[in-house]
Structure 1
Amino acid sequence: MNLVDLPSDIQNMIEKRKRAFSYYHEELIGEHRFLSEDQTIFQDAVIALSLGKNILLKGPTGSGKTRLAESLSSFFGQPMHSVNCSVDTDMEALLGFKTITQNDGASRIDFIQGPVIKAMEKGHFLYIDEINMAKPETLPLLNSILDYRRMLTNPLTTDVIQAKETFGVIAAINEGYVGTVPMNEALKNRFIVIDIPYVQGEILKDVIKQESKLHDEKMIEQFVRLSSDLLVQVKSGIIPEEAASIRALIDTCDLAVYMDPLRAVRRGISDKLEEEREKAAVVNIASTLFK
């Protein structure tokens, strides 16, 4: 089912969101196109957001989770505020912080809004990247904005913020990576989960043409084959998932425009790995393709 085949009530919800931001032109909105063999991924994300649901994008690094979030922002014409989580992500990184300012010689304390409060008050999208990298004690702050209440009592100011109707949350997660922690079930249950698989085949060719500087058809074919062969090694446990990252592949394709492709593979993929045997496995595969 194409987007044009969506039920009329969903299409009305989409149009209502687009009209809400038809006047708004901000650098947060970009022209991005998410590509996937599974056409239902984008459609299901659109439906969920139109219904006021939060969506959680699950997939390996470089699979296009951020690109999907950007494409959704562009589709709705709705600005998006981002949080990149890490072990250092705390309440201030999410909500904002207090600072002392000078006004006509007098000092006062102002509150600088963080991405969560900005998105709530403006009715924009909030994108939380690597949500399972944040400290577990930080994330419960988000519970009340992710359920039917759509509100937050700011512990830094005691203000109560009620999100605008168009406010929506998109989060992304890489499971099993170093530094990540299992998501609390109460938090995960507040999301609609969408799996983002690796891009392969003809779709990957289109991604390379769209995202990289490489235009040599034969070499693009070789890099698509490289990606496929690396995935086989990942599934066999010989090399880690990051070796098959589409993001790393795009970087490598860019380098291959200006250097020998085998050297580009070393710089863009194999040298990022820790184990010598893993590096050797990647180089051996690449050597059979780029003679």
Structure 2
Amino acid sequence: MKLANVGITVVNKKVPLVLGDEVVLKRELDYKYDKNAIKCLKNGEFIGYVCSDDYKVPDNCIVNKKLVPYFKYLDEISGKIITSDTIVYAKDDDRAETAYIIEIYLPDIEAKEREKEKVLKVLIDGNIGKVGEEKELLAKYNLEKEEVFIDDKPVGNIVELRHKDSILTDYKYLLEDNADILIKAEEGKYLFGEMVLSKESEDKIKEEYMKNLIEDIVERGIDTEENIKDKIAYINENNIPKCLFTNILKTYIKYDEEDLCFMKKPEFLYRDKSGVLKRALHYLTMKDKNITLVGERGAGKSTMAETIAWLFNRPVITISFSRDIDKYDIWGYKTIDITEEGERKVVFVDGPLTKAIKNGYITIFDEINVADPGVLESMNSVLDHRRQIYISELGQIKAHENFMAITTENDDTYQGVNKLNEAFRDRFIRIRCTGHDSIKELLKSKNPYIKLEVLEVLDDIYKGIRLLIKEGEISEKSLTIRGFENVAISYDPEIITLKESLIDCVVNQGDNEDDREHIMNIINMEVL
């Protein structure tokens, strides 16, 4: 339970109110002026309404629409009056209304949703006579006999267990013995029921389901056992729920040989300290969803996008935008081909986006907000629920179910960026990425014995490299946090100097010669 306050505008002033009075909040579904209306009652008598966001409520108060989700689980919410106040009506600052502040306790609705997640649909091959719509019967599952019983009489066998879209019938041997099944209806020779998984059974089924998925993926040659082990270690390290990774595994397919060259483990993986990767993965497991990763240079946007492609085990194509990129660079173009017979033939060469759409690639649109608006407009139909595009030379193309779009976008504080068209922008869920302001704590966790003065030097060099990236002097791919970790772990003044370690682990990871030179200049300023 958590404590919250709400404001109540008094409509019925005939009901006396004093501090400490107990009141009740209830939904009023037929109130035509506000679809989120919640009324307040004292001893059954109407007092007024919970303030909407039309009102300027005190900072510690929540408005009515924030309370609406709780009424999915509650018929009413109890509270007590703790103070009177004045609420100013936002649309007319001269108009003020008398109001009272009420203290309420709210349940953990996330926990309620989690309980709902554990409900299994059960199909039983059996017959018990007609079960009316309002009549529900409690049955028990006998694990040893694999039968369903009512009052010690067998009524049938479970023929299907379903959780959302997943069929879990093969896992009924992991159910708890004597588990309750609520039979809700009967149709023909089948009974329809529901059961709530115990935590122990739920964990067993999840583990077994994931294990079987992985075995199937490896057996079919879709991914290697070693690569999946690396992914599991990664999700554990970055607090990605296993159920989320299971949803990702369910999307794995076998790609053609020519597609495999676009699939690889990134040299550097994104380190998720704030949960942004978890949210990105969750959105991308939903149908027809795209994401935008927005933030300053050096925040790890490209690294996160490449990490996502690796976890999803899909080919990835990166399109780096500039003002010179046109629609032919994206979709493709006509050219002349010479046949084996020496004849000239006009052919269409697929562009990177066309290839990705056809074959189910992840496409990373890098620095999308420097692109020509006309190019972006041409993509709209393939980025929304239609998931298709018309190309005159090819006709209508339906996107592969595994096609996915991720854009990276620099903060609009940078020069040279365009304001994205609202229609294009609206097709993406925007996730803000923030870089590490300091890596001292991270490096200390890798080597608890590292000296403070060495930590300070490494942190200053890191900040200097981030500044170069932010100013556009070097690529964000030239910043390697893992490189700094390697320095913290391997530096030993009796064997190797700090500068030597930095050259091997940080400088040499630079994306190109110019970037390496810039990074070396910073190191020379910090390390003698």
TM-score (norm 1): 0.73
Question: Higher helix fraction: Structure 1 or Structure 2?
Answer: 1
Is 1:82–2:318 an aligned residue pair?
Answer: yes
Residues 84-105 of structure 1: CA deviation (Å, up to 9, x unaligned): 1100111111101111001112
Q: Which has the higher contact order (CA 8 A, sep 6+)?
A: 1
- 1:267 CA drift (Å): 3.5
| In 2: Cα distance, 1:5 partner to 1:205 partner | 27
Distance 1:77 1:159 in 2: 29
Gaps (5+ residues) in structure 2? 1-237, 445-451, 485-498, 508-513
Kindly indicate which of the two structures has a greater share of residues assigned to strand: 2
Determine which of 382, 387, 405 is the counterpart of 1:150.
387
Tell me, yes or no, if structure 1 residue 16 matches structure 2 residue 250.
yes
Q: CA deviation at 1:266?
A: 9.8
TM-score by length of 2: 0.42
Change in CA separation of 1:218 and 1:26 when aligned onto 2, cut-off 3 Å? farther
Q: Could you tell me which amino acid in structure 2 is paired with residue 47 of structure 1?
A: H
Aligned AA for 2:439? G
Taking a change above 3 Å as real, the CA distance of residues 229 and 248 of structure 1, as seen in their structure-2 partners, is same
**Alpha-carbon distance in 1 for matches of 2:480, 2:383:** 34
- 1:1-291 pair list within 5 angstroms: 2-6=239-243, 13-18=247-252, 20-21=253-254, 26-32=260-266, 33-38=269-274, 40-52=275-287, 53-103=289-339, 104-155=341-392, 157=393, 159-176=395-412, 177-199=414-436, 200-201=438-439, 205=443, 222-228=457-463, 241-242=471-472, 247-250=477-480, 256-257=502-503, 267-268=517-518, 287=525, 289-291=526-528
Larger Rg: 2
* Distance (whole Å) between structure 2 residues aligned to residue 64 and residue 99 of structure 1: 38
1:257 match: secondary structure = helix
Deviations 1:143-190 (CA, angstroms, capped at 9, x unpaired): 0011000000014x1511100111110111113323221111111110
Whether the 8 Å CA contact 1:204–1:224 is kept in 2: the answer is no
Does structure 2 conserve the Cα–Cα contact (< 8 Å) formed by 1:34 and 1:67?
A: yes
Give the secondary structure class of the aligned counterpart of 1:87: coil
Moved over 6 A (4+): 22-25, 251-255
Whole-Å separation in 2 of the counterparts to 1:223 and 1:247: 18
- Please report the RMSD computed on the Cα atoms of aligned residues, expressed in angstroms: 3.8
- Does the 8 Å contact 1:63/1:245 carry over to 2? no
CA-CA distance at 1:127 after TM superposition: 1.0
CA distance in 2 between counterparts of 1:203 and 1:65 reads 22
Cα distance in 2 for residues equivalent to 1:270 and 1:181:
33
Structure 1 residue 54 displacement after superposition = 0.2
Paired residues, number: 255
| Partner SS for 2:250 | helix
SS state at 1:148 partner: coil
Provide, for residues 192-224 of structure 1, a one-character-per-residue CA deviation record: whole Å limited to 9, x for no partner.
111111123258659xxxxxxxxxx97675232
Greater Cα shift, 244-253 or 89-98? 244-253
What stretches of structure 1 of length at least 5 have no aligned partner? Answer: 207-216, 272-282
| Alpha-carbon distance in structure 1 between the residues aligned to 2:336 and 2:516 | 49
Structure 2 CA distance for aligned equivalents of residues 30 and 202 of structure 1: 31
1:192 partner letter:
I
Kept in 2, the 8 Å contact 1:243–1:269? The answer is: no
Indicate the percent of aligned positions where both proteins have the same amino acid: 27
Deviates more, 1:193-202 or 1:141-150: 193-202
